Structure 1
Amino acid sequence: MKERSPLAPAAQPSIEAKTIAFTAADGYPLSGVMYRPPQPQASIVISNATGVPQGFYRRFAEYAAQQGFQVLTFDYRGIGASSPNSLKGFRMSYLDWGRHDLSSAIDVLAQDDLPIYMIGHSYGGQALGLSRNHHLVKAMQCYGTGAGWHGYMPLKEKIKVQVIWNIVFPPMVAVTGYLPWSKLNMGADLPVDVYRQWRKWCKHPTYFFADPEQQALKTQFAQVKTPIYAIAALDDDWALPASRQAFMQHYTSAPMTFIDMRAQDYSMKAIGHMGYFRKGAEKIWDQALQQFKTLQTDEQVDHAPA
């Protein structure tokens, strides 16, 4: 007999998945999908990794919705359903995804007056500190969030990444006017400004905090008080614990819990950088959702009348 997840209900509720359109604070049109159970008890916003369209997170969103969470996935500007007809000539800042797009997604969920939790994947864990309304997020679980510097990677991956940044990508961008990442089966194509800033910041051990033009981010990140659960898979060569620590140290006011994952502990052959949200990662999802449920219960107890 197949073992059922401890969080899975005996009968799965009917989940509505509805495409929604909303507008970022600076006027840019965005596209998302709202996964809604009949009677949601809380909301989750999923903040994507760089170049990863929202459809990648569909399985997790459906799984969470079946357990009572309303879940919003969305595409950042320039990605997937939020992309213009052509990326050539499309201008933006890499920081816009957190400052404008994630902030507006949080605003969408705030209209329902439910507790809001956040799942951040890679860049998505950085985006909380960029958002203007991080105070509305009760807690964040972030997966594979790190500083991006090759020095934190194993030797083989370090060499591979430097070859890609310095030899493979530049001529591709020069010819197309954007990064045609999809041709390498690495993700969605990226706007040229995202590529340039990402390449620049990944040259430094502390990422964009080392950029003289971005020093205000240190103060901004220090203002975040949202509890953070920072997860690193020990086979994720892009964001090992040292890389995670190099970035997370800038959330100086946020209660921080570090979690290291071994694939075998979750009945998985590998996790890597993307396996957190692939089929077969249900034990990881159970852990995340149970943590949110516990936090929600604790808060209800704290606010109960004496």
Structure 2
Amino acid sequence: MPNLNQNRQKQQFSVATQPFSASDGYALIGTLYTPEHGIKANIVLSSATGVPQAFYRRFAEYATQFGYQVLTFDYRGVALSAPKQLKGFKMSYLDWGALDLAAAIDFLAQDQIPLFMVGHSYGGQALGLAPNHAKVTAMYCFGTGAGWHGYMPFKEKMKVQVIWNIIFPPIVAVTGYLPWSKLNMGADLPIGVYQQWRKWCKNPTYFFADPEQHALIAQYAQVKTPIYAVSALDDDWALPNSRHAFMQHYSNAPMQFINISASDYGLKEIRHMGYFRKGSEKIWDEILHSFHDFIATKNG
């Protein structure tokens, strides 16, 4: 493995709010992190459900030190891309990949500059929903799984079932959306996202088990982008069995399954959110090492 830090530049970078539109015209808000001394590759970061793009700021800033330009963005209905009022806002959970991620890919895609993707949880699912997935050179995803409680340890399984079946339904019935921010769990979510997410998490193979989404099986089989699928062994929401249940549907994509432990990176824990928290630079180095290898192969 090459010493990536030999290529690290203590360079300046710019940060700019980047509006762009999905193919249906919906206005999205992103943030573009650009190194000032040349771009060797682009990275689009596809967020987890209900996680605002600002959470990924540290990773984006870190990647610029190695010449990567990074686009983070909020999906429709979330944070900066949300309407003033979520009640009555209609959308499909699938729109985030099929329309929003697809627009981000198109925005960054350039003929002479490789485009990579980093996905977190739903972000790793989203590649298969984007019709322009072939423009992505490789994807590194973290904590992407099927969401079914049966893959979780007993304590987490019980907690999740209580949340889905007892806590959330009456709250959503009153508000007309999922007020996650008031529960300190993330950004508020449109009711369509909540309803589909709850439905699909009841199935061991997630939306692939939904008769209304049967076409997604063939759609995901079309993806041939190399994928690195990472699971932390303390990530109760996306342990390796959950990851495999979902990622197996990228059936024609070159796939590397990677299991990691917090102690390997000098961390006390990783869980579902720690992949992108402060102090995770050693994890980020592995992402950038892999992307560096793709670039070196192309240039070689």
Is TM > 0.5 for Structure 1 vs Structure 2? yes
The separation in 1 between residues aligned to 2:7 and 2:16, in whole angstroms, is 22
User: Of the candidates 20, 34, 37, which is equivalent to residue 36 of structure 1?
Assistant: 34
The separation in 2 between residues aligned to 1:232 and 1:136, in whole angstroms, is 25
Contact 1:121 1:142 in 2 (8 A): yes
1:107 is aligned to 106
2:226 is aligned to 227
Give deviations 1:176-198, integer Å, cap 9, x for gaps: 00000111111000000000000
Count of matched residue pairs: 297
Q: CA deviation at 1:113?
A: 3.9
Amino acid at match of 2:77: G
Superposed, 1:165-180 pairs within 5 Å as: 165-180=164-179
Amino acid at match of 2:248: Q
The separation in 2 between residues aligned to 1:73 and 1:9, in whole angstroms, is 23
2:180 is aligned to 181
Classify the secondary structure of the residue corresponding to 2:178.
coil
Amino acid at match of 1:127: A
Q: CA deviation at 1:9?
A: 5.8
TM, length-normalised to structure 2: 0.97
Classify the secondary structure of the residue corresponding to 1:7.
helix
Contact 2:9 2:65 in 1 (8 A): no
1:244 is aligned to 243
Contact 2:4 2:289 in 1 (8 A): no
Superposed, 1:124-163 pairs within 5 Å as: 124-163=123-162
Classify the secondary structure of the residue corresponding to 1:71.
strand
1:80 is aligned to 79
Tell me how large the CA RMSD over aligned residues is.
Answer: 1.2
The separation in 2 between residues aligned to 1:112 and 1:15, in whole angstroms, is 23
2:93 is aligned to 94
2:21 is aligned to 23
Classify the secondary structure of the residue corresponding to 2:204.
coil
Classify the secondary structure of the residue corresponding to 1:169.
helix
The separation in 2 between residues aligned to 1:10 and 1:100, in whole angstroms, is 34
Q: Gaps spanning 5+ residues in structure 1: where?
A: 302-306
The separation in 1 between residues aligned to 2:40 and 2:91, in whole angstroms, is 36
Give deviations 1:15-46, integer Å, cap 9, x for gaps: 01111110000110000011001201000000
2:208 is aligned to 209
Contact 1:24 1:104 in 2 (8 A): yes
Amino acid at match of 2:151: Y
The separation in 2 between residues aligned to 1:82 and 1:282, in whole angstroms, is 28
Q: CA deviation at 1:158?
A: 0.1
Give deviations 1:68-103, integer Å, cap 9, x for gaps: 001000000000110000100000000000000000
Q: CA deviation at 1:300?
A: 1.7
TM, length-normalised to structure 1: 0.95
Amino acid at match of 1:175: V
The separation in 1 between residues aligned to 2:273 and 2:7, in whole angstroms, is 27
Q: CA deviation at 1:164?
A: 0.1
